[in-house]
Amino acid sequence: MMNIQRVLLSREQIAKRVNEMGQQIAADLDAEAKRVAAAAKVAGATGDEIGAASGPIVLIPVLTGALVFVADLIRAMPVAMSIKPVTLSSYPGKSTTSQGVTVQSGVPMDLKGARVLIVDDILDSGKTLGLLRRLVDAQQPRSVRIAVLLNKQKPMGRAEDVRVEYSGFVIDDEFVVGYGLDFDGIYRNLPDIVTLGG
């Protein structure tokens, strides 16, 4: 079993940043809804059409890693939303590097015209979020945004470049656990984000 080396991000740092992210995302979504409604009104849309165009956000958390993050994030987002989680895996068992993405539970299939926010714990190789963004984009949503808690610096580049609109923290390319992130299924319940060593 690996041992905790050091605390990288404390629970206090995480709470402050997640609250800031939630407020920023909510403000951006509100501004988008107003723009969409105004444009629809100018185009002569009906009240129902305007409401649909600027309706609730569809939030897609990537489980299980984003479970803790998304629970805190949505409490800082006073906007109407539906939550449709997906389960994807790229770190099977004791792997500390991405092994390719497996879709374990279904991606929502009713996203045409929707405003979508994908939420994940970490941007590492880019494979997971790249695949998910393509699957969502294929359904022709009105807009897609991605929010991640951690954005790893990758000096050698990512396997796939992914546009991420919101990042909580930029971290070095090291293996971390806690606050929802795991190693072989454990450590998710740690309130801080920590590094592991052998």
Sign of CA pseudo-dihedral 36, 40, 46, 47: positive
Which residue of the set 28, 120, 121, 124 is catalytic? 124
Find the helix or strand (DSSP H, E) in which 59 lies.
strand 57-63
45 close to 69: Cβ distance less than 8 angstroms:
no
Overall domain count for the chain:
1
**CATH number of the domain to which 136 belongs:** 3.40.50.2020
45 inside domain? no
Q: Which residue has the higher pLDDT, 28 or 93?
A: 28
Helix (H) or strand (E) run with residue 86 in it: strand 86-89
Q: How many CB atoms lie within 10 A of CB 69?
A: 26
> CA-to-CA distance for 73 and 119, rounded, in angstroms?
9
Q: Domain range holding 76?
A: 54-166
- 137 annotated active-site: no
Task: Say what the pTM is.
Answer: 0.88
Q: What is the pLDDT of residue 53?
A: 59
pLDDT score, position 117: 97
Q: Where does the pLDDT of residue 93 fall: very low under 50, low under 70, confident under 90, or very high at 90 and above?
A: very low
Q: Is the pLDDT of residue 161 over 70?
A: yes
105 lies in some domain? yes
Say whether pLDDT at 195 is over 90: yes
- Give the residue from 125, 149, 121, 112 showing the smallest Cα distance to 13: 149
Q: Is the pLDDT of residue 52 over 60?
A: no
